[in-house]
Amino acid sequence: MAPAELEALLSLLLTASGPPRLRRVIEFFGSVQVAWRVLRGKVNATRMASLPARLEHAQRVIADQDVQVVTMKDAGYPKRLVHLEADAPYVLFARGRLELTERIVLGVVGSRGCTEYGAESARALTMPAVRAGAVVVSGLALGIDSVAHQAALDAGGETIAVLGCGIDICYPARNRGLFERIASDGLLLSEFAPGTPALGFHFPHRNRIIALLSHALLLVEATPDSGSLITTKRAQEHMDVLVVPGPLGRRTSEGCNRAIRDGGIIVLEPEDVLRALHVHAAQARGAPEPVQLDAEARTVWRALSTEARHVDDVAERARLPVSDVALALLRMELAGQVQQMPGSRFLLCSRT
What is the pLDDT averaged over residues 245-262?
90
| pTM of this structure | 0.79
Using CA atoms, how far apart are residues 325 and 231, in angstroms rounded to an integer? 42
Amino acid identity at 137: V
State yes or no: pLDDT of 22 exceeds 80: yes
Three-state DSSP state, 225: coil
pLDDT band at residue 282, thresholds of 50, 70 and 90?
low
Using CA atoms, how far apart are residues 317 and 299, in angstroms rounded to an integer? 9
* Sheet containing strand 265-266, strands side by side: 68-71, 91-96, 187-190, 159-162, 135-138, 105-109, 216-219, 240-243, 265-266
Question: Is the distance from CB of 246 to CB of 313 less than 8 angstroms?
Answer: no
Which of these, 301, 283, 303, lies nearest to 292 by C-alpha position?
Answer: 301
pLDDT digits (tens, 9 = 90+) for 56-98: 999 999 999 999 999 999 989 999 888 777 778 999 999 999 9
Structural domains present in the chain: 1-63 (no CATH), 99-161+198-277 (3.40.50.450), 295-348 (1.10.10.10)
pLDDT of residue 37: 95
What is the pLDDT averaged over residues 32-60?
95
Amino acid identity at 241: V
Using CA atoms in the order 23, 28, 34, 38, what is the torsion angle rounded to 10 degrees? -100
Amino acid identity at 36: W
State yes or no: pLDDT of 351 exceeds 80: no
pLDDT digits (tens, 9 = 90+) for 157-171: 999 999 999 999 999
Task: Tell me which DSSP letter residue 290 carries.
Answer: P
